[in-house]
Structure 1
Amino acid sequence: MKQHYDTFWKRLDNERFNEWKEELPALIDVALHPEGNGNLPRWLEALQQVKSFSPNSSFNLNQAAITVAQNSTLNDTEKQILETALRAFHPWRKGPFSIHDIFIDTEWHSDWKWDRVQPHLAPLKGRKVLDIGCGSGYHLWRMAGNQAELAVGVDPSLLSMSQFLVLKHFIGETVPAYFLPLTLEQLPVSNKGGAFDTVFSMGVLYHRRSPIDHIYDLKNQLLPGGELVLETLVIPEDYGQLLLPDDRYAQMRNVWFLPSVNELTHWLERCGFLNVRCVDIDQTSIKEQRTTDWMTWNSLETFLDPEDHNKTIEGYPAPLRAVMVCKKPQ
């Protein structure tokens, strides 16, 4: 896995990344220690099986399913070996992907979220972008497909990193997308200020016990004038100012603060962001998040009131997601 960073350090050619180059190698070594996750040897074995198939320069990062090794020349036996290796990375939550014509139908239609977010972004061409809580890296590939100069994903999940490296193997090093198995809080902050033109935090804020600290941590990674894209669960305005679930929300224990859009706007402005606006609000449907052959565990439909999909099984408003876009002052 460490070979993934051979070209990464060379791309950190701005002095604002000096602290990253000094501090990240040791942090990554700790994160990738074999004793850190008991499943890691199994995932590494499956990754080696994937790497027995030659890289393929044929890929498409600008369609719903990130597609690599198009028009596969593998025979049926080879495809079965590859598919068995890919299924070792269950559950596949964010996607979809197509690898050697094997379609990985992930739990989430992450392409639907991208279609809601992308029209409202400053053009990514030539920009350095950071994606916090990137999961398998689906959106990283879409960012790279939009000609980002550098796309860095951050997520402590080694399963997600393994899934990302599957795609990286076939796509190769010419596409500047990288995965850090860390948390936002672990990232060094440059003494010259942030280094990224655009920072994404999608589906993370409501998992944070201190959402204001999370917003400030995102801000610290942005260049002056940079753009923050924050996507998170919210509550309808008529429900109130803020929801703090008593225990679980949609069967998730690690959900803390769900603000209204107005309250979230206030948080972002209070943290010093400018031109704060909600560019999209959408209730998650059971077609967007669902159980599939590649994610066989329970999914959204199980977590909603069976009599009323506008409520969670606990009686709270069903998942409603807002996309907020704002600027860090110059």
Structure 2
Amino acid sequence: MSTLFGGNTASTAASTNNTQGDLSKDVEVTSPPEDSVSDLSFSSQSEHLAVSSWDSKVRIYEISETGQSIGKALYDHQAPALSVHWSKDGTKVVSGGADKAARMFDLQSGQATQVAAHDEPVSCVRMFQAPNAGEMLVTGSWDKTLKYWDLRQQQPAAMVQIQDRVYTLDVSQGLLVTGTAERYINVINLANPTAIFKTIQSPLKWQTRVVSCFPDASGFAVGSIEGRCAIQYVDDKNASMNFSFKCHRETPSTGIANVYSVNAISFHPTFGTFSTAGSDGTFHFWDKDAKHRLKGFPSVNWSIPAASFNRNGSIFAYAISYDWSKGHQANNPQYPIKVMLHPIKEDEAKPRPPAKKR
């Protein structure tokens, strides 16, 4: 089932006042990375933001109540850093990189150590609470494996062979979802982490760019390179609630749509609504339950490769930098590299009450 949220172009949505977002209060993070941003992650315990970059570094910033940022720490990979995530207690940051390693930075000691290894680049990392085993790390790689790590040991606690290169993964409560090359989506119940609970082909016809789990772990969202997003529920009895919609598209006067990659999908921690951000330089807030666009924001005129809400949903961070969607030849020294902080007004991300029936 394919539906359309409020028109098939960003400009259509932004043209109506009640869905027009405002970027004028957005604040730029000081001392941004020196190359394209690959990922953003907020701590769940404090106002700290971790940023991974193609300059092979991970930077950690402290964000004040007024949106000002202070660089607190920096550590290195030996090749581009591709993914970053926080431990649940907010004392450590983990990251994966093209150096085929995952690294952990301890904020208290200021030390970074290698904690995982693969045969190919580590494209995504997530910390999660394992049933009866405490906090663990899961890493996904282009070597077509998932590996689970008990960080007290040097060897992986378990490994899962995947059909193809892992491009993206996410975890929420007991749910783990991976998106791979050739459009495979794997669903894993972390109560049985070495078994794939379900494999589907993406409901979207083009390459998967991002997967993001619902906060209640009942399903996940999928974004593709072709300006579409899909909402999928895990339980087959909810299959009738699955749908996809067009986003991050422009239809100029020629009538031929320009489509852009959906690079990032993030769920609001309080409201359960979600954001999409894309190569067209826009981000939008959506209500999946009402199948409704809440806010569409003007284009920043450059790609947005990564985005994330903070722990209470009061700040939305988004990166402005090249996203490699057009290959190496489209990158140029004039491309800006910024991390922006957008203060959330409640009406921007909060579900709207249903319209009263007459």
- Taking structure 1 as the reference length, the TM-score comes to 0.28
Relative contact order higher in (CA < 8 Å, ≥ 6 apart) = 1
Q: Point out the structure with the larger helix share.
A: 1
- Taking structure 2 as the reference length, the TM-score comes to 0.27
Q: Point out the structure with the larger strand share.
A: 2
